[in-house]
Protein backbone atom coordinates (compact mmCIF):
# COMPACT_ATOMS: atom_id res chain seq x y z
CA UNK A 1 0.00 0.00 0.00
CA UNK A 2 1.73 3.20 -1.18
CA UNK A 3 -0.61 5.81 0.24
CA UNK A 4 1.38 8.99 0.92
CA UNK A 5 1.17 12.73 0.42
CA UNK A 6 3.37 15.82 0.61
CA UNK A 7 4.03 17.11 4.13
CA UNK A 8 2.52 14.04 5.78
CA UNK A 9 3.51 13.90 9.49
CA UNK A 10 5.05 17.33 9.07
CA UNK A 11 5.79 17.63 12.78
CA UNK A 12 7.92 14.44 12.71
CA UNK A 13 9.77 15.68 9.62
CA UNK A 14 10.49 19.02 11.24
CA UNK A 15 11.68 17.57 14.54
CA UNK A 16 13.87 15.06 12.66
CA UNK A 17 15.32 17.83 10.47
CA UNK A 18 16.07 20.00 13.49
CA UNK A 19 17.98 17.19 15.25
CA UNK A 20 19.76 16.14 12.07
CA UNK A 21 21.01 19.66 11.41
CA UNK A 22 22.40 20.02 14.92
CA UNK A 23 23.94 16.53 14.89
CA UNK A 24 25.51 16.79 11.45
CA UNK A 25 26.98 20.29 11.78
CA UNK A 26 30.54 20.26 10.49
CA UNK A 27 30.35 16.79 8.88
CA UNK A 28 31.67 16.43 5.37
CA UNK A 29 29.08 13.73 4.54
CA UNK A 30 25.49 13.97 5.72
CA UNK A 31 23.67 10.83 4.67
CA UNK A 32 19.94 10.31 5.03
CA UNK A 33 17.89 7.22 4.15
CA UNK A 34 14.16 7.52 3.45
CA UNK A 35 13.10 3.87 3.69
CA UNK A 36 9.68 3.14 2.16
CA UNK A 37 9.49 6.43 0.28
CA UNK A 38 6.50 5.42 -1.89
CA UNK A 39 6.29 7.88 -4.83
CA UNK A 40 8.72 10.31 -3.21
CA UNK A 41 6.30 12.78 -1.62
CA UNK A 42 7.94 12.24 1.78
CA UNK A 43 11.47 12.43 0.37
CA UNK A 44 10.85 15.78 -1.32
CA UNK A 45 9.03 17.12 1.74
CA UNK A 46 12.07 16.38 3.90
CA UNK A 47 14.42 17.73 1.21
CA UNK A 48 12.48 21.02 1.10
CA UNK A 49 12.52 21.36 4.89
CA UNK A 50 16.27 20.73 4.93
CA UNK A 51 16.90 23.14 2.05
CA UNK A 52 15.05 25.81 4.01
CA UNK A 53 16.89 25.24 7.27
CA UNK A 54 20.41 24.02 6.54
CA UNK A 55 23.25 26.37 5.91
CA UNK A 56 24.67 26.18 2.35
CA UNK A 57 27.75 24.20 3.51
CA UNK A 58 25.63 21.56 5.25
CA UNK A 59 23.19 21.35 2.36
CA UNK A 60 26.05 20.83 -0.09
CA UNK A 61 27.15 17.77 1.91
CA UNK A 62 23.68 16.24 2.08
CA UNK A 63 22.82 13.02 0.20
CA UNK A 64 19.47 11.27 0.50
CA UNK A 65 18.88 7.62 -0.44
CA UNK A 66 15.19 7.04 -1.15
CA UNK A 67 14.14 3.40 -1.29
CA UNK A 68 11.02 1.35 -1.78
CA UNK A 69 9.93 -1.98 -3.13
CA UNK A 70 6.89 -1.76 -5.33
CA UNK A 71 5.39 -4.63 -7.19
CA UNK A 72 5.00 -2.56 -10.39
CA UNK A 73 8.54 -1.23 -10.13
CA UNK A 74 7.68 2.31 -11.26
CA UNK A 75 8.37 4.37 -8.11
CA UNK A 76 11.99 4.86 -9.16
CA UNK A 77 11.02 6.75 -12.31
CA UNK A 78 8.52 8.92 -10.41
CA UNK A 79 10.96 9.79 -7.63
CA UNK A 80 13.84 10.43 -10.02
CA UNK A 81 11.79 12.72 -12.29
CA UNK A 82 10.17 14.44 -9.32
CA UNK A 83 7.08 15.19 -11.44
CA UNK A 84 3.68 15.57 -9.75
CA UNK A 85 0.23 16.91 -10.57
CA UNK A 86 -0.72 20.35 -9.24
CA UNK A 87 -3.39 18.64 -7.17
CA UNK A 88 -0.81 16.59 -5.23
CA UNK A 89 0.85 19.81 -4.13
CA UNK A 90 -2.29 21.50 -2.86
CA UNK A 91 -1.43 20.94 0.81
CA UNK A 92 2.16 22.14 0.42
CA UNK A 93 2.80 25.77 1.45
CA UNK A 94 2.73 28.00 -1.66
CA UNK A 95 6.10 29.56 -0.95
CA UNK A 96 7.76 26.12 -0.89
CA UNK A 97 6.09 25.11 -4.18
CA UNK A 98 7.29 28.37 -5.73
CA UNK A 99 10.85 27.86 -4.50
CA UNK A 100 11.29 24.13 -5.15
CA UNK A 101 9.00 23.27 -8.12
CA UNK A 102 8.79 24.44 -11.72
CA UNK A 103 5.79 24.12 -14.03
CA UNK A 104 6.57 21.85 -16.98
CA UNK A 105 4.63 20.84 -20.10
CA UNK A 106 4.29 17.51 -21.85
CA UNK A 107 2.06 18.24 -24.83
CA UNK A 108 -1.16 19.58 -23.32
CA UNK A 109 -0.37 18.20 -19.89
CA UNK A 110 1.05 20.55 -17.26
CA UNK A 111 2.73 19.33 -14.10
CA UNK A 112 5.10 20.47 -11.36
CA UNK A 113 8.66 19.22 -11.29
CA UNK A 114 11.06 19.35 -8.36
CA UNK A 115 13.96 21.71 -9.08
CA UNK A 116 17.39 20.40 -9.99
CA UNK A 117 18.74 21.78 -6.68
CA UNK A 118 16.75 19.11 -4.82
CA UNK A 119 16.85 16.38 -7.48
CA UNK A 120 20.64 16.24 -7.33
CA UNK A 121 20.41 15.41 -3.62
CA UNK A 122 18.29 12.25 -3.99
CA UNK A 123 19.12 8.81 -5.37
CA UNK A 124 16.37 6.24 -5.66
CA UNK A 125 17.15 2.56 -5.10
CA UNK A 126 14.73 -0.30 -5.52
CA UNK A 127 15.09 -2.06 -2.15
CA UNK A 128 13.23 -4.62 -0.05
CA UNK A 129 13.66 -3.94 3.67
CA UNK A 130 13.23 -7.65 4.33
CA UNK A 131 16.55 -8.31 2.57
CA UNK A 132 17.97 -6.89 5.84
CA UNK A 133 20.85 -5.44 3.81
CA UNK A 134 20.93 -1.65 4.04
CA UNK A 135 21.55 0.34 0.86
CA UNK A 136 24.33 2.22 2.60
CA UNK A 137 25.84 2.99 5.99
CA UNK A 138 26.83 5.80 8.30
CA UNK A 139 23.43 7.44 8.03
CA UNK A 140 22.86 10.48 10.23
CA UNK A 141 19.09 10.02 9.85
CA UNK A 142 16.87 7.15 8.76
CA UNK A 143 13.25 8.02 8.13
CA UNK A 144 10.87 5.06 8.00
CA UNK A 145 7.27 6.15 8.40
CA UNK A 146 4.07 4.21 7.91
CA UNK A 147 6.02 1.20 6.66
CA UNK A 148 6.89 -0.95 9.67
CA UNK A 149 3.23 -1.43 10.58
CA UNK A 150 2.89 -3.48 7.39
CA UNK A 151 5.57 -5.95 8.52
CA UNK A 152 5.19 -8.99 10.73
CA UNK A 153 6.47 -8.50 14.28
CA UNK A 154 9.64 -10.60 13.89
CA UNK A 155 10.52 -8.81 10.63
CA UNK A 156 9.96 -5.44 12.29
CA UNK A 157 12.43 -6.37 15.04
CA UNK A 158 14.99 -7.45 12.42
CA UNK A 159 14.52 -4.22 10.45
CA UNK A 160 15.03 -2.12 13.60
CA UNK A 161 18.32 -4.03 14.15
CA UNK A 162 19.35 -3.31 10.56
CA UNK A 163 18.58 0.38 11.03
CA UNK A 164 20.72 0.44 14.18
CA UNK A 165 23.67 -0.94 12.22
CA UNK A 166 23.14 1.39 9.28
CA UNK A 167 23.14 4.52 11.45
CA UNK A 168 26.31 6.33 12.31
CA UNK A 169 26.93 6.35 16.10
CA UNK A 170 24.48 8.81 17.66
CA UNK A 171 22.40 9.01 14.46
CA UNK A 172 18.61 9.31 14.43
CA UNK A 173 15.70 7.10 13.40
CA UNK A 174 12.26 8.62 12.81
CA UNK A 175 9.03 6.65 12.53
CA UNK A 176 5.33 7.53 12.55
CA UNK A 177 3.73 8.61 15.84
CA UNK A 178 2.00 5.30 16.50
CA UNK A 179 5.08 3.09 16.04
CA UNK A 180 6.33 1.56 19.28
CA UNK A 181 9.83 0.24 19.75
CA UNK A 182 9.69 -3.56 20.27
CA UNK A 183 11.22 -4.57 23.67
CA UNK A 184 13.79 -6.76 21.85
CA UNK A 185 15.45 -3.64 20.40
CA UNK A 186 14.64 -1.10 23.12
CA UNK A 187 18.30 -1.16 24.30
CA UNK A 188 19.49 -0.09 20.83
CA UNK A 189 17.76 3.28 20.78
CA UNK A 190 16.82 6.04 23.17
CA UNK A 191 13.92 8.41 22.65
CA UNK A 192 15.21 11.78 21.50
CA UNK A 193 12.07 13.82 22.20
CA UNK A 194 8.93 13.12 24.22
CA UNK A 195 6.40 14.19 21.59
CA UNK A 196 7.61 12.51 18.40
CA UNK A 197 8.86 9.07 17.47
CA UNK A 198 12.45 10.13 17.03
CA UNK A 199 15.09 7.75 18.36
CA UNK A 200 18.82 8.11 18.79
CA UNK A 201 21.17 5.20 18.19
CA UNK A 202 22.66 3.88 21.42
CA UNK A 203 26.06 2.20 21.31
CA UNK A 204 26.38 -1.39 22.45
CA UNK A 205 29.24 -2.23 24.74
CA UNK A 206 30.37 -5.79 25.35
CA UNK A 207 30.55 -6.70 29.04
CA UNK A 208 33.25 -9.31 28.38
CA UNK A 209 36.86 -8.19 28.71
CA UNK A 210 39.51 -9.64 26.40
CA UNK A 211 42.55 -10.61 28.44
C1 LIG B 1 1.94 3.78 3.38
S2 LIG B 1 3.39 3.97 2.40
C3 LIG B 1 4.30 5.15 3.37
C4 LIG B 1 5.02 6.13 2.52
C5 LIG B 1 5.74 7.23 3.31
N6 LIG B 1 6.82 6.69 4.08
C7 LIG B 1 4.79 8.03 4.18
O8 LIG B 1 4.89 7.96 5.41
O9 LIG B 1 3.91 8.70 3.63
C10 LIG B 1 4.28 2.45 2.74
C11 LIG B 1 5.40 2.19 1.76
O12 LIG B 1 6.22 1.15 2.29
C13 LIG B 1 6.64 0.34 1.22
N14 LIG B 1 7.02 -0.97 1.74
C15 LIG B 1 6.25 -1.87 2.37
N16 LIG B 1 6.97 -2.98 2.67
C17 LIG B 1 8.23 -2.76 2.22
C18 LIG B 1 9.44 -3.53 2.21
N19 LIG B 1 9.47 -4.77 2.71
N20 LIG B 1 10.54 -3.00 1.66
C21 LIG B 1 10.51 -1.74 1.14
N22 LIG B 1 9.41 -0.97 1.10
C23 LIG B 1 8.27 -1.47 1.63
C24 LIG B 1 5.42 0.30 0.30
O25 LIG B 1 5.79 -0.06 -1.03
C26 LIG B 1 4.90 1.72 0.40
O27 LIG B 1 5.41 2.55 -0.61
Residue 2 lies in a domain: no
Residue 153 lies in a domain: yes
What's the total number of domains in the chain?
A: 1
Q: What is the mean pLDDT of residues 60-89?
A: 93
How many whole angstroms separate alpha carbon 24 and alpha carbon 94? Answer: 29
State yes or no: pLDDT of 68 exceeds 70. Answer: yes
Residue 1 lies in a domain: no
CB of 175 sitting under 6 A from ligand 1: no
State yes or no: pLDDT of 70 exceeds 60. Answer: yes
**Closest protein CA for atom 24 of ligand 1:** 2
State yes or no: pLDDT of 102 exceeds 60. Answer: yes
CATH number of the domain bearing residue 17 = 3.40.50.150
How many whole angstroms separate alpha carbon 102 and alpha carbon 195? Answer: 35
Residue 37 lies in a domain: yes
Q: What is the mean pLDDT of residues 105-127?
A: 96
Write the CA distances from 202 to 152, 172, 190, integer angstroms.
Answer: 24, 10, 6
Strand order in the sheet with 189-191: 122-126, 62-68, 30-35, 139-143, 167-174, 198-201, 189-191
Q: Which residues make Cβ contacts (< 8 Å) with residue 108, sequence separation at least 6?
A: none
Residue 136 lies in a domain: yes
Residue 103 lies in a domain: no
Residue 155: domain span? 10-82+121-201
Residue 90's pLDDT is what?
94
Residue 182's pLDDT is what?
95
How many alpha carbons fall within 13 Å on the CB side of residue 130? 10
| Residue 98 per-residue DSSP state | H
Q: Given the CA of residue 155, which atom of ligand 1 is nearest to it?
A: 19
State yes or no: pLDDT of 44 exceeds 70. Answer: yes
Calculate helix-pair angle for 10-24, 41-53, nearest 10 degrees: 50
How many whole angstroms separate alpha carbon 134 and alpha carbon 111? Answer: 33
Percent over 90 (pLDDT), the chain: 88
Name the residue of 6, 36, 44, 71 to mutate for ligand 1: max ligand atoms within 8 A of Cβ: 36
Residue 211 lies in a domain: no
Residue 211's pLDDT is what?
44
How many whole angstroms separate alpha carbon 106 and alpha carbon 146? Answer: 33
Mean pLDDT of the chain: 94
Lowest mean pLDDT among 35-39, 115-119, 122-126, 174-178: 174-178
pLDDT, tens digit (0-9, with 9 covering 90-100), for 145-171:
999 999 999 999 999 999 999 999 999
Residue 91 lies in a domain: no
How many whole angstroms separate alpha carbon 94 and alpha carbon 85? Answer: 14
Residue of 201, 52, 68 whose CA lies nearest to 141 = 201
3-state class of 143 per DSSP?
strand
Amino acid sequence: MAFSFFMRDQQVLEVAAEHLIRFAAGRSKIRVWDAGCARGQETWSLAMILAERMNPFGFRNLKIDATDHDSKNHFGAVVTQGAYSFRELERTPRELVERYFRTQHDGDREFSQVTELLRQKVTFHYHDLLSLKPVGGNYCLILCKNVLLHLQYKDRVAVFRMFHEALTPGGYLATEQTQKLPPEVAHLFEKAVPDAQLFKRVEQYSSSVDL
